[in-house]
Amino acid sequence: MSDDRAARTRGRWLDTLARYKRDPDGPGSAEYWSPSLDCASRDELRAIQDAKLAALTPFLYENSAFYRRRFDRLGLLPTDLRTVDDLPKWPVVDKTEMMEDESSPQLRFLVGDYATFTSARCECGRTHLRAVGAFGGRADELINLRGVKMYPVQLEAAVRAVPGVGDEYEIVLSTTPGGLDVLTARVEHADGSIAARVAREIQARCEVRCDVEVLAPGTLPRTEFKARRVRDTRRAGGA
């Protein structure tokens, strides 16, 4: 890596960050920290993302041995990643790769959390991409129920496919007195008759029959950060 190129790309990256820095010393209004960014159009946000990405990739290539090796291994140049549309060329970095290289990735790394995102304008006026509800679970939380394997994100998709189901729900895995492992979905809804529909959605998406318990809205504890929606009480520990 050339010291001159490293310094030049670092300078460009810092200049780009400074160009799009808004309201650094305090909130710009009573409603938003930075009104010009929080309420920017999707086109403007995308233009900022593209500009930052075009400056970031050369900086990483010239200043990080980890990223230079990865670019070279993938047969890519920094100029191959200039816009958000180019990101599919760059496989996400997983934890194994991070540990093997003792690295701290700055570009498209996988943490294993599932979430549902939307780009629709929020009722508060903000336009940024945001997560809907809480985190859906972890990629490494594979559920094995009587030989049928599923992920929490599949169960979440089934539950949320039923209109009116509340943000909070719980999946309980238990063992019957006869030794059969079973799944119960506990959901919040004002209409108890939706239990059959929830059960059908889960069976269609996860290929497993289940019981459904419909609770009054507000019954389940509210999620504050990462949701732990699967509670496994089986005697065999889920084997």
- 3.90.1150.10, 3.90.1010.10, 3.40.1440.10, 3.30.300.30: CATH of 137-232: 3.30.300.30
> What is the C-alpha separation between 229 and 139, in angstroms, rounded?
13
> What is the C-alpha separation between 109 and 142, in angstroms, rounded?
21
The domain segmentation of the chain, as residue ranges, is 3-101, 137-232
Better-predicted residue by pLDDT, 3 or 148: 148
Closest CA to 229 of 112, 162, 148, 133: 133
Closest CA to 122 of 40, 3, 217: 40
- Tell me: the pLDDT tens digits for 164-206? 999 899 999 999 999 999 999 999 999 999 999 999 999 999 9
Q: What angle do CA 24, 116, 186 make, to 5 degrees?
A: 130
> What is the C-alpha separation between 171 and 210, in angstroms, rounded?
10
Structure-token match 């903000």, residue found: 126
DSSP 122: P
Contact between 167 and 134 (Cβ < 8 Å): yes
Closest CA to 118 of 104, 105, 132: 132
Contact between 136 and 209 (Cβ < 8 Å): no
- Tell me: the pLDDT tens digits for 124-136? 888 888 877 666 5
Instruction: Name, in order, each residue with C-beta under 8 angstroms of 177's C-beta and a sequence gap of 6 or more.
Output: none
Bridge partners (DSSP) of residue 135 are 226
Better-predicted residue by pLDDT, 72 or 108: 72
Inform me whether the pLDDT recorded for 36 exceeds 60: yes
- Tell me: the pLDDT tens digits for 46-56? 999 999 999 99
> What is the C-alpha separation between 143 and 150, in angstroms, rounded?
5
> Long-range contacts of range 39-43, CB-CB < 8 Å, 24 or more positions apart?
39/125, 39/126, 39/127, 40/127, 41/127, 42/119, 42/127
Closest CA to 207 of 199, 215, 217: 199
* Phi/psi at 116 (5° precision): -105, 125
Structure-token match 């943490």, residue found: 111
Residue 201: other Cβ atoms inside 10 A: 22
